[in-house]
A and B are shown apart, each in its own frame.
Chain A
Amino acid sequence: MPASSNFQQAIREAQSSALVGPNVVSKALPYVGGGMVLTAGGVMGGLTLMASSPTLFMPLFWVALIGNFILFFVAQNVAMKGNNSAALPLLAAYSLLTGYTLSGIVAMAIGTAGIGAIGTAALATGITFVIASFVGRRMSDSVGQSLTAVVGLGIVGLLIAMVVQLVGSIFVPGFGMGGFGMGGFELMIAGFGTVLFVGAAFVDFYTMPRTYNDDQYLAGALGMYLTYINLFIFILRLIIALNGGSRRD
């Protein structure tokens, strides 16, 4: 029997069995909200720095990006072990740095579609959260497991498409810029990503109580936070692509 059968069986059993963390979602939600607020603070800091000292922005961007990678792995490992007092400051720093590194796309969205784009993306993300929190918790096992599998496969597909876009931008002039300029490919990625992360928002409410125990609420909060950050980013990318991307200049 191939090894993947054990894996799939284990996931199926975990998902259909009794909840391992019945309170993990309610414990995690305040930290997801806190993470989003810190990220907004990081974005504001990045935008302020971009306007006041643009020469300082890029060097600090690289520092923040490297710090972000390190913090992600350390914070996730600590949170998975249920060591929440150690994980919390790490996750707070991670959220803040994520905000700073995302200020580029926010600045671009403001430049392309106006400040309303940020409000639209934030509102759409909030509405998705409210609907997902009602529907996701009440999904049957068959629907929940199917949606989990579809979202899992979709994320792999999206990652491959984004790597193609990234590599294409290095070797083919205009391709990655393409990213935003060429419309078609970027529009496809942004649209697919938006649909996918709406699905992921529903999946999170279904899988979290079945996979994380109550002490792992910060690890669960990190997963949920990543879903909403990605949803927000993909809505912004969609708005940018629909508004013509880099054609603004």
Chain B
Amino acid sequence: MAAAAATDKKLWIDAELLGNNFSRFLITRTTESPILHLAIRFNQPD
């Protein structure tokens, strides 16, 4: 019973850690989109 609870707890913690890292990763990636937009606009001929 205690072992099952410990496994359950570890699963929750791992999910939290994965979620944390993933949201930080997404924020880094989302930053690039305005930059990309700007780069495309700069590359367009006047």
A104 touches B18 (CB 8 A): no
Most buried by A among B9, B13, B24, B26: B24
Expressed in whole angstroms, the Cα–Cα distance for A163 and B29 within the complex equals 11
User: What B residues does A123 contact at CB under 8 A?
Assistant: none
Q: What interface size band does chain B fall in?
A: 20 to 34
A128 to chain B, nearest CB (A): 15
A155 touches B23 (CB 8 A): yes
Residue of A nearest to B5 (CB): A10
Q: Is A233 part of the contact surface with B, judged by Cβ < 8 Å?
A: yes
Partner of B25, one of A156, A158, A226: A226
A162 touches B17 (CB 8 A): no
Residue of A nearest to B41 (CB): A177
**Given A72-B25, A177-B37, A222-B21: A159 and B13 interface contact (C-beta under 8 Å):** no
Expressed in whole angstroms, the Cα–Cα distance for A13 and B5 within the complex equals 12
**Given A7-B12, A180-B38, A246-B38: A233 and B18 interface contact (C-beta under 8 Å):** no
Expressed in whole angstroms, the Cα–Cα distance for A102 and B24 within the complex equals 15
Residue of A nearest to B42 (CB): A249
A residues 53-112 near B (Cβ < 8 Å) are: 58, 61, 65, 68-69, 72, 76, 80, 98, 101-102, 104-105, 108
Q: Is A11 part of the contact surface with B, judged by Cβ < 8 Å?
A: yes
B26 touches A159 (CB 8 A): yes
Expressed in whole angstroms, the Cα–Cα distance for A10 and B17 within the complex equals 12
User: What A residues does B29 contact at CB under 8 A?
Assistant: 65, 68-69
- Residues on B lying within 8 angstroms of A by beta carbon are 8-9, 12-18, 20-21, 23-39, 41-42
For the A-B complex with A10-B12, A165-B34 known, give 16 more contacts whose Cβ atoms are closer than 8 Å. Answer: A7-B15, A61-B36, A65-B29, A76-B18, A104-B35, A105-B31, A155-B24, A156-B23, A159-B30, A162-B31, A169-B34, A223-B17, A223-B24, A226-B21, A226-B28, A237-B31
